[in-house]
């Protein structure tokens, strides 16, 4: 069974834009990575359809992992992992 978010499309878009603003402000140099484009695609799909999604995306060479959980609220963390 698919779980759908209770936020409307504008609320989802605002939350996701906030994530990318914070990442850009951190200036970690990860915005150009293929993994970030994959994450952006996941975010765009979530904004459009509101279907719940969660996962982890390691960004090789940066020692960072994007951990996200988009449901009735948007949770996203950029975790440090020295093995990535």
Note the pTM of the prediction, 2 decimals: 0.89
For residue 64, with 0-12 CB atoms within 10 Å meaning exposed, 13-18 middle and 19 or more buried, which class applies? buried
pLDDT digits (tens, 9 = 90+) for 15-36: 999 999 999 898 888 888 999 9
More confident residue, 62 or 3: 62
pLDDT band at 6 (very low <50, low <70, confident <90, very high): confident
Instruction: State residue 39's pLDDT score.
Output: 97
Q: Is 1 a residue whose pLDDT tops 90? A: no
- Under a CB-based contact definition with an 8 Å cutoff, are residues 22 and 74 in contact? no
Q: Which residues contact 63 (CB under 8 A, 6 or more apart)?
A: 80, 81, 82, 83, 84
Q: Which two tokens stand for residue 1?
A: 């069974």
């Amino acid at each position: 069974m698919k779980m759908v978010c209770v936020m409307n499309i504008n609320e989802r878009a605002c939350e996701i834009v906030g994530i990318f603003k914070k990442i850009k402000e951190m200036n970690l140099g990860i915005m150009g990575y293929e993994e970030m484009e994959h994450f952006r695609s996941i975010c765009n799909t979530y904004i459009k359809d509101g279907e719940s999604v969660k996962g982890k995306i390691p960004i090789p060479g940066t020692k960072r992992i994007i951990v996200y959980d988009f449901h009735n609220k948007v949770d996203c963390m950029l975790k440090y992992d020295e093995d990535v």
